[in-house]
Structure 1
Amino acid sequence: MTLKKQSILVAGGGSTFTPGIIMMLLENLEIFPIRQIKFYDNDEERQKQIADAVEIVLKERAPEIEFLATTDPETAFTDIDFVMAHIRVGKYAMREQDEKIPLKYGVIGQETCGPGGISYGMRSIGGVLELIDYMEQYSPDAWMLNYSNPAAIVAEATRKLKPNSKIINICDMPVGIEHRMAEILGLKSRKDMTVRYYGLNHFGWWTDIRDKDGNDLMPAIKKHVAEHGYVTPGELEGTPGEDIEPSWMHTYGKAKETFALDPNTLPNTYLKYYLFPQDEAEKANPEYTRANEVMDNREKQVFSECNRISTIKTAEDAKLVTDDHASYIVDLARAIAYNTHERMLLIVPNDGAISNFDPTAMVEIPCIVGSNGPETINQGEIPRFQKGLMEQQVAVEKLVVEAWEEKSYQKLWQALTVSKIVPNARVAREILDDLIVANKGFWPELS
């Protein structure tokens, strides 16, 4: 059977993650053929650095694929099958503010959790909704595969404000942890495992992991995590397979403490921010946060490599590599395009999949994906411990979206107060007032 060739738009063409997506697409052309790739970004100069290098890569490795980079929405969104969206409104300069402002008050600042995530969410909602509007205007049959952060708040916004849109919200964090699980077990790939998982984005637990023959893999992974967290055997021996930044090594190790709270499950690493917020705030350097780490490492490395390729006019020895989330998004696009019924973790309306939880909550659970989109896999009832934590966090996400829609200072203050990361309402208000000043021009004007 000849597979239909797809037209792909990468929204956020200037992202450092874009080259990884392109490399993964090129590795999968036999099973996911492409006729056209477009980039769209509102920062022409930043996108051009990535696009110039990608154009050389495509000419050398897949010259049959048409390529275009543009800042014009109509040009970008016309004649496409998929929008792969990973925008960052405010770029890393604003992420730095998200992280450093809460630390002034002894509260951890983080990209998707607590005050930092709320601040970023208030910036992201409008940007993602704008992308949906463009897609529906110029390519109404297309699907948007969105992994713009903070995914939980963005997903709630699209559920509430664009309920009929063809958008699927995803996250690569569970994928990255599953890669580590596979390495811990000595498996070739995370795809050798079938998992059951429930929670919210960056806020979930694995409840069952089996190999293709149905053998239970949980005991072996639990034993390792109880001793070492998600630090892999290679890393323990001092020979990691990739360059891991110090903040991530701490995160993987911290999973040992998080796991101890419920040894019946395996935790998402981001739970450390909710369960040990004071630890994270004390460890953080208010002068040099994760945003600075990314700007000094990934940002410099990717742009330097892209500029080098553009200068020498060849990608023969390019050091651009695929990313975890790139493989995941290709699998998702294939499932929709060719009705493959892939099993994937997605962020979807609960609608009874977790039977004792808010049906309107955007939960992260396994789904079967075909040409009609995702069909959820029932997870049954969840324990009181997880249910209580999730209800508190869902309230935060819903209050943020209501605050954005209603331009409500009161509801955003409430959202920060409800967040498990913030110690009290007074501190919540002080952080909020500082964030409002920093986000002038990015947030709706609150009243």
Structure 2
Amino acid sequence: MSGLKIATIGGGSSYTPELVEGFIKRYEELPIKELWLVDIPAGEEKLKIVGALAKRMVEKAGVPIEIHLTLDRRAALANADFVTTQFRVGQLDARAKDERIPLKYGVIGQETNGPGGLFKGLRTIPVILEICKEMEELCPNAWLVNFTNPAGMVTEAVLRYSNIKKVVGLCNVPIGMRMGVAKMLEVEPERVWIDFAGLNHMVYGLNVYLDGKVITEELIDRLTSAESGITMKNIVDMGWNKEFIKALKILPCPYHRYYYQTSKMLEHELEAAEKEGTRAEVVKQVEAELFEMYKDPELNVKPPQLEKRGGAFYSDAACSLITSIYNDKRDIQPVNTINNGAIASIPADSAIEINCVITKDGPKPIAIGDLPVPVRGLVQQIKSFERVAAEAAVTGDYGTALLAMTINPLVPSDEVAQKILDEMLEAHKEYLPQFQLAHIHG
């Protein structure tokens, strides 16, 4: 082979420098010849800024990776070996609506959970399925590595509604958890191991190991103090209730706070939205500062400020995954993939997030049997929500969207669900053509 071609959709993202850094670092084992960064006209200015920085980074590192910038997705996809997706339909303005509108009804407004997660899925899934169709035609043997949120729901939709089977969903939560545990124990991350299983943003650490020895219980003890440090830049650390977390006996992920500490998190969100704005509005500020920095012609490395963006380790996870598939490494990484019986209480054909052996034929999930009884029901409920939401995204059916919204555990009733649904369908209508069409046909 004369080197690999990688297409990155949403190439104008502020995360791209981390991706480029990851590819540079692994050049010896991942010989990339062409990296195509593709975006839409609305993202063209950002694409040019990030693209110029990517070119300076590659030049500084002295690796022969050609960086191509384009608004032509088909040109980027043609004969690609790997396609990575990191786009946001409607950009941060759409996210701000996802966060603000539910709050009016006393419901958590969050990018990937509750009504916000539903609407991000409804906007994203039709686009990812279009990309899948183009991949079938232009690069049928390529791997699709998706880190567009909600990653679990998007992976579910690709598995169910496209012919692309070579798909892996990626999230930085498991890596963040491992890093958080290492920081808490004041050890190198390599010494920490976690058995991950569940769904995207609903993943649990069933066992935690230090140097191969199980330390789950001791670790949970330490979690009972506030500011334990195992959270994300975008999720406030409330500490956990001592009795609750000890009884749970497994490590929750930061997103579980929305389900186990709903009223506290809602209160915090309402207050934050009032004072400094929703998370999307805060991120807009962070992004503006990052892009100002990226413009500097002297800058030729990834700036450390990127970690404030909340997506630290994302792109590193993607680079590790691609390297392991390409080199048939058979190392173990937590990813979103088809269940195939690895978790007994979830349908075999559904997407799950779990530790997998990464081979040239993709991820092979490590079976865990059943999830512990205390968490099984919540995981199954979220899986039902993801499946119904994916169906709503594909069909544009109002009733199905209402059903998805109502069965989400963060939404209190069908009445509230309908009010939020109606307002959000109106607010996002330019990005939801399937609902307009279904309405006309209906």
TM-score by length of 1: 0.89
Structure 1 unaligned residues grouped into runs of 5+: 236-243
1:325 matched residue in structure 2 = 314
1:222 matched residue in structure 2 = 220
Q: Deviations over 1:22-75 (max 9, x none)?
A: 112212222323222110111222211211221222222235211111011222
| Shift in alpha-carbon separation, 1:263–1:59, aligned structure 2, 3 A | same
Q: Which moved more, 1:39-48 or 1:279-288?
A: 279-288
| Contact residue 216 and residue 249 of structure 2 kept, 8 A | no
2:180 matched residue in structure 1 = 180
| Alignment of structure 1 residues 97-112 onto 2, 5 Å | 97-112=97-112
1:204 matched residue in structure 2 = 203
2:194 matched residue in structure 1 = 195
Give distance in 2, aligned partners of 1:9 and 1:320: 25
1:69 matched residue in structure 2 = 69
Instruction: Say if 2:353 is the partner of 1:364.
Output: yes
Give distance in 2, aligned partners of 1:360 and 1:343: 21
Deviation of 1:139 (Å): 1.7
Give distance in 1, aligned partners of 2:352 and 2:326: 24
1:13 matched residue in structure 2 = 11
Q: Which moved more, 1:178-187 or 1:367-376?
A: 178-187
| Contact residue 348 and residue 362 of structure 1 kept, 8 A | yes
| Shift in alpha-carbon separation, 1:317–1:45, aligned structure 2, 3 A | closer
| Contact residue 338 and residue 371 of structure 1 kept, 8 A | yes
Q: Which moved more, 1:352-361 or 1:175-184?
A: 352-361
Deviation of 1:143 (Å): 0.7
1:138 matched residue in structure 2 = 138
1:27 matched residue in structure 2 = 25
Amino acid of the residue matched to residue 208 of structure 2?
A: I
Structure 2 unaligned residues grouped into runs of 5+: none
Amino acid of the residue matched to residue 276 of structure 1?
A: Q
| Contact residue 84 and residue 144 of structure 2 kept, 8 A | yes
Instruction: Say if 2:332 is the partner of 1:343.
Output: yes
Deviation of 1:327 (Å): 1.6
Give distance in 1, aligned partners of 2:203 and 2:303: 36
| Contact residue 229 and residue 256 of structure 1 kept, 8 A | no
SS of residue matched to 1:38: strand
Give distance in 2, aligned partners of 1:390 and 1:321: 32
Amino acid of the residue matched to residue 207 of structure 1?
A: L
Give distance in 1, aligned partners of 2:257 and 2:347: 24
1:306 matched residue in structure 2 = 294
1:166 matched residue in structure 2 = 166
Amino acid of the residue matched to residue 21 of structure 2?
A: M
| Shift in alpha-carbon separation, 1:151–1:218, aligned structure 2, 3 A | same
1:271 matched residue in structure 2 = 256
Aligned residues: 426
Instruction: Say if 2:409 is the partner of 1:420.
Output: yes
1:148 matched residue in structure 2 = 148
Q: Which moved more, 1:29-38 or 1:253-262?
A: 253-262
| Contact residue 23 and residue 321 of structure 1 kept, 8 A | no
Give distance in 2, aligned partners of 1:195 and 1:319: 27
Q: Which moved more, 1:342-351 or 1:54-63?
A: 54-63
Q: Deviations over 1:138-184 (max 9, x none)?
A: 22221111110011211111111025431111111111111111111
Give distance in 2, aligned partners of 1:122 and 1:77: 24
| Shift in alpha-carbon separation, 1:197–1:175, aligned structure 2, 3 A | same
Give distance in 2, aligned partners of 1:320 and 1:23: 14
2:387 matched residue in structure 1 = 398
Deviation of 1:411 (Å): 1.0
Amino acid of the residue matched to residue 160 of structure 1?
A: R
Amino acid of the residue matched to residue 198 of structure 1?
A: A
Deviation of 1:364 (Å): 1.0
Deviation of 1:265 (Å): 0.2
Give distance in 1, aligned partners of 2:246 and 2:96: 31
| Contact residue 305 and residue 319 of structure 1 kept, 8 A | no
Give distance in 2, aligned partners of 1:6 and 1:152: 27
Give distance in 2, aligned partners of 1:171 and 1:163: 23
Match for 1:409 among 398, 417, 425?
398
Deviation of 1:80 (Å): 2.0
Give distance in 1, aligned partners of 2:241 and 2:4: 43
| Shift in alpha-carbon separation, 1:128–1:261, aligned structure 2, 3 A | farther
1:293 matched residue in structure 2 = 282
Give distance in 1, aligned partners of 2:79 and 2:289: 33
| Shift in alpha-carbon separation, 1:441–1:261, aligned structure 2, 3 A | farther
Give distance in 2, aligned partners of 1:78 and 1:230: 47
| Contact residue 78 and residue 138 of structure 1 kept, 8 A | yes
SS of residue matched to 2:353: strand
| Contact residue 196 and residue 354 of structure 2 kept, 8 A | yes
| Shift in alpha-carbon separation, 1:255–1:9, aligned structure 2, 3 A | farther
| Contact residue 96 and residue 289 of structure 1 kept, 8 A | yes
Give distance in 1, aligned partners of 2:105 and 2:240: 25
The runs of at least 4 consecutive aligned structure 1 residues that moved more than 4 Å come to 255-259, 316-322
Q: Once the two structures are aligned, what percentage of the paired residues are identical?
A: 28
Q: Deviations over 1:304-338 (max 9, x none)?
A: 111123xx5x5279657683112211111011101
Give distance in 2, aligned partners of 1:192 and 1:223: 19
Give the superposed CA RMSD: 2.3
Amino acid of the residue matched to residue 265 of structure 2?
A: E
Amino acid of the residue matched to residue 198 of structure 2?
A: G
| Contact residue 342 and residue 367 of structure 2 kept, 8 A | yes
TM-score by length of 2: 0.90
1:431 matched residue in structure 2 = 420
Deviation of 1:255 (Å): 4.7
Give distance in 1, aligned partners of 2:313 and 2:184: 17
| Contact residue 229 and residue 255 of structure 1 kept, 8 A | no
Give distance in 2, aligned partners of 1:317 and 1:223: 37
Amino acid of the residue matched to residue 279 of structure 2?
A: R
Give distance in 2, aligned partners of 1:318 and 1:264: 38
Amino acid of the residue matched to residue 217 of structure 1?
A: I
| Contact residue 194 and residue 209 of structure 1 kept, 8 A | yes
